[in-house]
Amino acid sequence: KAGVTQTPRYLIKTRGQQVTLSCSPISGHRSVSWYQQTPGQGLQFLFEYFSETQRNKGNFPGRFSGRQFSNSRSEMNVSTLELGDSALYLCASSRGTSGVETQYFGPGTRLLVL
Amino acid sequence: GENVEQHPSTLSVQEGDSAVIKCTYSDSASNYFPWYKQELGKGPQLIIDIRSNVGEKKDQRIAVTLNKTAKHFSLHITETQPEDSAVYFCAATTRRGSTLGRLYFGRGTQLTVWP
């Protein structure tokens, strides 16, 4: 079974631009979560989607948004990029059906903001 | 929310020795504790997990113990090998209502195994 895939793997943007990252979960998984990983803050939760609905949100500004499509694929968008947004953005998927479930991570998208 | 602390931040061991990484959590309602291994340039990979109704779980050279009373859990790696070198993260989460549980991560432990 294929794992979680994320595209693109690397991105370079300049301040003020916006960016869209994509995540395809493991087949059959309906929950997708996004995390930001930086050396300074570690792994921080952005948001979680299930059945096209945002079910949980972390403490990030409104410039960070996401959505989920009917096939469970998810995108996250960051508008008006800041230097501090440079990070590894990780997507994790789980079945999302009941209880506490294992989350499987993708390889991440490395974003560099200049 | 939940606060997970992880120690040590770096750990160097000789090949064949054991390595232990410890984590504490603050929310007594947390009921699931996964451990992830992250190699350079890759996303975190689940290596073992434990649920709150179990005190210990073992998978070959890797074991995890959980003490709910003290709110701490530990990762034990025996007979370490150079390929065990990576950053290890502990995490905790709770299911409340319809929320599946965001993962709260520790800050990570850089494990280096010297041949």
Report helix, strand or coil for A85. Answer: helix
CA atoms of A27 and B54, how far apart (whole Å): 29
d(CA B99, CA B9): 30
Q: How far apart are CA A83 and CA A71, in angstroms?
A: 33
Tell me the pLDDT of chain B (115 aa) as tens digits: 789 999 999 999 999 999 999 999 999 989 889 999 999 989 999 999 998 888 999 999 999 999 999 999 999 999 999 999 999 999 998 766 555 568 899 999 999 999 9
Which of residues A99 and A73 earns the better pLDDT score? A73
Chain B nearest-CA residue for A103:
B46
B-chain CB neighbours of A93 within 8 Å are none
Q: Say which residue, B103 or A12, is predicted with more confidence.
A: A12
Q: How far apart are the C-alpha atoms of B103 and A79, rounded to whole Å?
A: 25
Spell out which residues of chain A touch residue B45, defining contact as CB-CB under 8 Å.
105
Mean pLDDT of all residues in A50-64: 92
Q: What's the confidence (pLDDT) of residue A32?
A: 94
B45/A94 CB distance under 8 A: no
Q: What is the pLDDT of residue A35?
A: 96
First to last CA, chain B: 41
**Calpha distance A45→A32 (Å, rounded):** 12
Closest CA to B36 of B78, B81, B82, B75: B75
Query: Which pLDDT score is estimated for B102?
Result: 84
Tell me which chain B residue has its CA closest to the CA of residue A40: B107
| Chain B residues touching residue A92 (CB < 8 angstroms) | 103
Contact A105 B105 (CB under 8 A): no
Q: Quick check: B33 contacting A, CB < 8 Å?
A: no
The pLDDT tens digits of the residues spanning A77-110 come to 999 999 999 999 999 998 876 656 788 999 999 9
* C-alpha torsion angle, residues A88, A19, A3, A49 (rounded to 10): 100
Nearest CA in chain B to A4: B43
A34 and A91 Cβ atoms separated by less than 8 Å = yes
